[in-house]
Structure 1
Amino acid sequence: MTIFQDIYKRIYASSLGKNIGIRLGAPIESWTGPEVRKCYQPITDYLTDYSQFAADDDGNGPLFFADVMKHHSFNHVTVQDMANNLLNVVPYEKGFFWWGGKGISTEHTAWLNLMNHIDAPLSGSCKQNSKAVSEQIGGQIFSDCWGYLALDKPEIAKDLAEKMSSVTHDLDGIEGGKFIAVCISLAWNIHDTRELIHTALQYLNQNSNYAHLIQEMLDFHLQYSKDPARCLAYIEDKHSYDHYEGLCHI
């Protein structure tokens, strides 16, 4: 197998796995763990069939946001370059994102800011949009591509993810984007999950809530590594949605 074939195969498998997750989780998005278990446990297949499945920004984002690198190098691409690319590829309040309204949908809010000449990174900042809006999940979900573009180059993956995440997000919203991109970059050579997470953690702001939560879960895993149900119960108790602001906190 050539290096190109290996890269192609692994990125394809990773992308396919994510899209399977999108398709599987779509019907129960925003449900709590107990609600899912009450209605569907055990889950052995897709929960519903779709004759058509709508475009989803979880999958669209990584594909289209990477277009900016057709015109810029790793070293010279700027946050505003990425913001301009977003405006070029995202149609006017049609498809792509969840257009849930200003101050509710993080991406919609940032997009409106950009359209009103509020440049990045202010467009996605906590100062401009509030902590609740700026720390929702999108910054993390859209960051796969930067890891794929910088395999085994975690510093570059982190830098690209930080720039793109800051167009729409801030604070932990940016940390999550960095974490996913760095994990994917490192996974080219690190195949042990715990080692991968621990290594990626070193690329984050160590004072962030995001980094503290990852370390908390690594510590929990040391005690209960053979009990995933206990881990899920711990997360639902300590870190469920009701502990955080916004509709879909990171």
Structure 2
Amino acid sequence: MADREYWENLINGELVQRREEGCNVTAVEQKFDEADKEDVAGLEAIFAELEALPVKEDFPYVEPSTLEEIRAERPEGPRRMLKQFTEAELRDKILGAWLGRCAGCCLGKPVEGWHKERIEKYLKLAGEYPLNDYFPVIVPIPEGYPQHLANHDCMQGRVRYMARDDDTDYTIMGLYILEANGLDFTTENVADAWLNRLPYHLVYTAERIAYRNLVNGIKSPQSASYHNQCREWIGAQIRADAWGYVTPGWPEMGAEFGFRDAAVSHVKNGIYGEMFISAMLSAAFATDDIEEIIKIGLSEIPERTRLNEAMRNTVEWSKRYRTWQEAWDKINEHYGHYHPVHTINNAAVVLLGLLYGEKDFGKTVGISVMGGWDTDCNGATAGSIIGAILGADALPSEWVEPLNDRIMSYVIGFNDSKISDLANRTLAIAKKVLERR
């Protein structure tokens, strides 16, 4: 039976989540504040009341969680693009996306969870602001900074492979799901793959809650919402990449694959984050116009949503402000209240990297990481997109050569894989998708 601590943590998280979803939580919050915290049954009743709250009538957003409703609310978009690919071109772009994701993730991994100001201060102490390489090691590590930086295998001069990370584990999982189940895979296939291939203690936030729900017999879509106060956080967004890699020039299908995956653990903007990035990646194979890629990504999610609005605002701020730091200030002003691993604020930082990066790989991932919050996720996503745009042959050697074509993973059967092998296996699936386009 759940104890007092469980219910207190759940209610505190759910109060935030329901408020963000457009509910008036004032009365329930007051009841919780005044409640006897030793009365577990009373806490459970308060949570049930919180779950049952309706969205306010004046809430300006329409945020469904089924594919049919999502598609009914999306704006116009190309759905399928006419770009034709040679096999060599497609292989280069897929490998570029894999390498870009690994390098960007590796860049952000040592400072995961740091705020923008802390990152800037550290880099200035090292004399390496702005970022133009992997994070430097300062000897000795300055007071107030974590000592693990001294031995971290993603620091400058110490990168020998892509270290294990959940951001890249999920890209590998996407490949595995497609290989094991084919292009018509289901959300249930995704759930089964998690249970069979991923260790429980190496998934986090919404994924861990959904995993627990699955083990307890709670299937999708309930697995995404039952006692899951993290259901709009970044976990689905970081699982988007494989779906974009295998749907080059077909953003509608990339988004659909993303939906099937996201629905096991997320709702609303949590789902949209994965669909948005998947569709952007699909588009990045067919055009190098950053704003067009973003527009196409947004065309696959509902228009009147918090995520869509935030992304459109970020594009507008990038036109108004000369530096990414000025645009970041606007993002922080409007979306800094979200949890540091929420979908919306982190997606905005990814766009900053793409919009201010001038199609330069190092600048793109550097800005996405220097923006702070979920730095490994943001570096990975930005690196993936710019990697697909540029292709492997155009990626700077200083970013990709240290990886030595190796990636570590806790996905069963995939540890110490060759990145190029994963890219070739991805290419084989992409060719099957293109036969359907």
TM more than 0.5: yes
Q: 5 Å matches for 1:180-199?
A: 180-199=277-296
Choose from 324, 348, 351 the match for 1:228.
324
- State TM-score, norm by structure 2: 0.50
Q: Could you report, residue by residue, the CA deviation over 1:104-140 in whole angstroms, capped at 9, with x for unpaired residues?
A: x211111111111111121112xx134x410111100
SS in 2 for 1:31: coil
Q: 5 Å matches for 1:1-250?
A: 3-41=86-124, 42=129, 43-47=131-135, 48=137, 49-50=152-153, 54-74=163-183, 76-93=184-201, 95=202, 97-98=203-204, 105-125=205-225, 128-130=226-228, 132-224=229-321, 226-240=322-336, 243-245=337-339, 248-250=341-343
CA distance in structure 1 between the aligned counterparts of 2:292 and 2:242, rounded to whole angstroms: 22
Q: Which has the larger radius of gyration?
A: 2
8 Å contact 2:301–2:308 — kept in the other structure? Answer: yes
Q: Supply the AA of the counterpart residue of 2:211.
A: W
Q: Could you report, residue by residue, the CA deviation over 1:72-111 in whole angstroms, capped at 9, with x for unpaired residues?
A: 343x322112211222211343x4x24xxxxxx2111111
- State TM-score, norm by structure 1: 0.86
CA RMSD of aligned residues (A): 2.0
8 Å contact 2:177–2:190 — kept in the other structure? Answer: yes
Identity of aligned residues (%): 26
With over 3 angstroms needed to count, the CA separation of the structure-2 counterparts of 1:24 and 1:122, relative to structure 1, is same
Q: Could you report, residue by residue, the CA deviation over 1:49-91 in whole angstroms, capped at 9, with x for unpaired residues?
A: 51687521100101123322224343x3221122112222113
With over 3 angstroms needed to count, the CA separation of the structure-2 counterparts of 1:92 and 1:3, relative to structure 1, is same
8 Å contact 1:65–1:86 — kept in the other structure? Answer: no
With over 3 angstroms needed to count, the CA separation of the structure-2 counterparts of 1:189 and 1:24, relative to structure 1, is same
8 Å contact 1:78–1:163 — kept in the other structure? Answer: yes
8 Å contact 1:80–1:121 — kept in the other structure? Answer: no
8 Å contact 1:33–1:236 — kept in the other structure? Answer: no
Aligned length: 233
SS in 2 for 1:160: helix
CA distance in structure 2 between the aligned counterparts of 1:110 and 1:54, rounded to whole angstroms: 25
Q: Supply the AA of the counterpart residue of 2:166.
A: D
Of structures 1 and 2, the one with the larger relative CO (CA 8 A, separation 6+) is 2
Q: Structure 2: 5+ residue runs without aligned partners?
A: 1-84, 138-151, 344-437
Q: Structure 1: 5+ residue runs without aligned partners?
A: 99-104
Shift of 1:210: 0.6
**Greater shift after overlay, 47-56 or 146-155?**
47-56
Q: Supply the AA of the counterpart residue of 2:101.
A: K
Q: Supply the AA of the counterpart residue of 2:194.
A: L
Tell me the equivalent position of 1:101.
none
